[in-house]
Chains A and B, each alone.
Chain A
C-alpha cells in the first residue's frame, strides 16, 4: 500500500492509493486447487474476518453441489460469523485509535479480541483461520458448556464498549479529529460502490444480511445501523453500534439454536459407519472420502455475504472437474479503497490516518 498525496500547503488536492503490493494471486491459485483446499486459501487474505470469507465461499460452492444444510449448522455458522464480526470491528477500532494517537484504544481493542479468539480456538481448534465451514455443514458441534462461555464473553464486551465510549468515542480530541472529516456523501458512496459500515455511515441502508438473507439471518432480529453524516466519526459510531448488534445477534442465536445434526445428510451417509458413530458421539466431523475430490455439476454460482468490512462476493465457474475453472473473489476492502480518492480531497495531511483508520482498510484483503 502506497499513498500518494498531492498537497497545496497542508490541503490535499489529489490523492492516489496505489494497491497491489501484497497481491497473492488467490484467484489464480484457487484454479489449481481442489474445492476443499480452497477453504483455507480464501481465509488468508481476509484476516481477521476469516469466518465470513469461509462462509461466502461455501455458500457459492453449495449452490453448485446442491446440498441441503441442516438448520443447526446454519445457526452455528451465523454464531461464528458474528463473533468474527466483533473481533474484526475491534481490530479496525484498534488500528483506528492508534492512527490518531490513542494508544490506549489500540491496546484495549486488541486485548479484547482475545476472548473471542480464545472461544474460537476452543470451538474450532484455531484462533483465526478456523476453516470451520465445509460443504454440507460445519466441522464441529458446540462443545459442552460453550454457550455459557460465549454469553460471558459477550457480557464482558458490552461492559468494555462503555469503557471505549469514555476513553475514545466521547473523547473531545477524538471528536475534534473526526467530526466532519473525510465526508463521503450518500450519492457519492452509492456511485463509487462503497460497501459495508462505510456505506451505512453515509446514509445508505444496505446490508446483505437484510437485503438477501443467507443462513438464518431472515429469522433473527437485528437493526441496521445507519448514520447520515458520512464522516469519519459516523463510521466509528456505526462500527461501535454494529458490535452491539452483533452481541444482540449472538444472544438470539444461542437462544434459538435448534437441535439436530450439524452436517448434511447427503454427505453424512457416505461416512463409514464406525466413523459416523464416533462423529455423533464426539460432535466432531469425520470427512467423507468424497471430499478429497468434490466434483460439482457444470455451471456457475455466485454468493454474497456481509463480512465485517462489507459485502463479500464470490463467483465460481465449474467445468465438472475437481478444480474450479474460474474463481472470483471480490473483497470489501477492494471496493472501499476507491473512497480514499474522494474522501480526502480538501482534507489536511494529518487527516490521512484518520480517514485510513475510519475506512477500516486492510491491504491484504484488497489485494488478495
Chain B
C-alpha cells in the first residue's frame, strides 16, 4: 500500500473527514462565505439596493466575504489597556471552538459518523451550551460598559432559550424512542419529525433564532443600542471569530434540525444512503433552507426588547415545548409511533 493510499484512507475515515472536510472546516468555510453573501444579497434585494457587487462582478460579488476576511486579517488586533488580557484573547477562540465542536457528533449518512455514541441527540445541543458562557467571559474581560451590557443580555437570553430547546429535543427523543441521531434519521423514512411533532419543530426553530442572534432576537449585539454588544472592544481577526461564531452555530443547528425534524438523508433509501456523498448533500440542502429562512428574518422584523424576548421565551416557547412533550406522549400512547 502506497503512502498516497494510506493518506487517502486516513482522510476519508469518518473521524478525520467529518471535522476536516464535511461538514467540518472546508464545507463550513464555503457555507459561511456563501451564507453571509446570500444574506446581504437577499436583504439588499428586498431593500431595493445592490448589495455586494464589485468583487467578482460576474457572480454578483460572491467572494465579497473573502475580501472582508483579508481586510480583517491584516488589521491590527488591539487589546485594551484595562482588559483582562488572557481571557480577552482566549474567550473568543474558545467561543468559536465550542460553537464548532458539536459538528463532530453529526452523522452524514447512516454509516458515516465520527462519534459512535447513542447520545448524539443530546450531545450536539449540550456542547453548544458552552459557547454562550464564553460570550459572558468576553463581555466581562473587555471592561467596557457596552460589552458588559451585551454579555449580560446574552446571559439572560441563554437562560430563556436553553430550556425550551432541550425540552423540544426531549420531545423528539420520546417521539423516536432514541437518542441516537443515526437511528432518528433512519426512523423518518415515512413521516418526518416536523409532521410528527410540529410543536417541537416550531419551538426549536424559535430557540434556534434566539441562540444564533438572528432577528428579531438580535438583542445582545443590538447595533443602535450598545454598539456591537459583547464584541465592542474587538478588532482584527478575533473580531471575525466573534462575528462568525453565530453563523457557525446557525450552520451546526441547521444540520441538526434537518436530521431531527426534516428527515436527515431521507427520502434517499438503501443503498444510496450508505455512501456519504449523496446523504451529506441532502443534509446540506435541507440545512441551507433552514439557514436561508433564519437569515431572511433580518428583512422582516425589527428587534425585540430584552424583556419582551424573555417573556416570549418563558410564556410562549417554554409552554410550547411542554405541549410538544405532551403531544409526543399522546402519540406514543395512541400507538402512532
Inter-chain contact B216/A173, CB cutoff 8 Å: yes
CB contacts (< 8 Å) of A107 on chain B: these are 47-49
- Contact between A102 and B302, CB atoms less than 8 A apart: yes
Cα of A101 to Cα of B299 in the assembled complex, Å: 10
Of B68-76, B217-225, B240-248, B287-295, the segment with at least 4 beta carbons within 8 Å of chain A is B217-225
Q: What are the 4 tightest A-B residue pairs by CB atom distance, in nearest-first order?
A: A101-B303, A107-B47, A102-B302, A101-B302
> Using a CB-CB cutoff of 8 Å, which residues 30-77 of chain B contact chain A?
43, 46-49
A293 close to B (CB within 8 Å)? no
Given known contacts A98-B224, A171-B302, A103 and B43 CB-to-CB distance under 8 angstroms: yes
Residues of A within 8 A of B216 (CB): 101, 173
With a cutoff of 8 Å between Cβ atoms, the chain A residues found around residue B303 in the complex are 100-101, 173, 177
Check A168 against B306 for contact (C-beta < 8 Å).
no
Contact check, A101 vs B305: say whether CB atoms are below 8 A apart: no
| B304 in the interface (beta carbon within 8 A) | yes
Which A residues are CB-close (under 8 A) to B298?
Answer: 103
Q: Which residues of B contact A176 (CB under 8 A)?
A: 304-305, 308
CB atoms of A104 and B299 under 8 A apart? yes
Q: Tell me the complex Cα distance, A174–B216, Å.
A: 10
Chain B 264-317 residues near chain A, CB threshold 8 A: 298-308
Minimum distance in angstroms from B18 CB to a CB of chain A: 36
**Taking A104-B46, A104-B47 as contacts, is the C-beta distance between A350 and B301 under 8 angstroms?**
no
B139 to nearest A CB, angstroms?
15
Mark out the residues of chain A between 143 and 200 whose CB falls within 8 Å of any chain B CB in the assembled complex: 167-168, 171, 173-174, 176-177
- Check if B17 is an interface residue, CB within 8 A of chain A: no
Contact A173 B47, CB 8 Å, known A10-B307, A348-B307, A353-B224: no
B224–A177 touching, CB < 8 Å: no
Contacts of B302 in A (CB 8 A): 97, 100-102, 105, 168, 171, 173-174, 177
Is B83 in the interface zone, CB < 8 Å from A?
Answer: no
On whether the beta carbons of B301 and A353 are closer than 8 Å, the reply is no
How long is the Cα–Cα vector from A99 to B226 in the complex, in angstroms? 11
User: A353 vs B302: C-alpha distance in the bound complex, in angstroms?
Assistant: 12
Q: Which residue of A lies closest to B156 (CB)?
A: A10
Let me know if B305 and A103 touch, CB within 8 A: no
Q: A352 vs B43: C-alpha distance in the bound complex, in angstroms?
A: 26
Q: Please tell me if the beta carbons of B47 and A350 are within 8 angstroms of each other in the complex.
A: no
B149 adjacent to chain A (CB < 8 Å):
yes
25 contacts between A and B (CB under 8 A): A10-B306, A10-B307, A100-B302, A101-B215, A101-B216, A101-B218, A102-B302, A103-B47, A103-B298, A104-B43, A104-B46, A104-B299, A107-B47, A108-B47, A111-B48, A173-B303, A176-B304, A177-B302, A177-B303, A177-B305, A348-B305, A348-B307, A349-B225, A352-B225, A353-B224
Interface check A207, CB cutoff 8 A = no
A10 to B225 alpha-carbon distance, docked (Å): 13
In contact, B48 and A350 (Cβ under 8 angstroms) = no
Instruction: Report the Cα distance A10→B169, complex, angstroms.
Output: 33
Q: Which residue of A lies closest to B43 (CB)?
A: A103
CB within 8 Å of A: which of B223-256? 223-225
Least distance between B331 CB and chain A CB atoms (Å) = 31
- Quote the shortest CB–CB distance from A235 to chain B (angstroms): 16
Q: Which residues of A contact B225 (CB under 8 A)?
A: 349-350, 352-353
Which B residue sits closest to A7, measured CB to CB? B149
Mark each residue of chain A from 130 to 147: 1 if its CB lies under 8 Å from any CB of chain B, else 0.
000000000000000000
Whether A350 contacts B222 by the Cβ 8 Å rule is yes
Q: How far is the CB of A357 from chain B (nearest CB, A)?
A: 8
Which partner residue on chain A sits nearest B152 by CB separation?
A10
Question: Whole-angstrom distance between the alpha carbons of A105 and B47 in the complex?
Answer: 8
Chain B positions within 8 Å of A82 at CB level: none
Asked if A242 is an interface residue, CB under 8 A from chain B, the answer is no
The distance in angstroms between the C-alpha atoms of A171 and B302, with both chains bound, is 8
Instruction: Give A307-331 as 1s and 0s: 1 = Cβ < 8 Å from B's Cβ atoms.
Output: 0000000000000000000000000
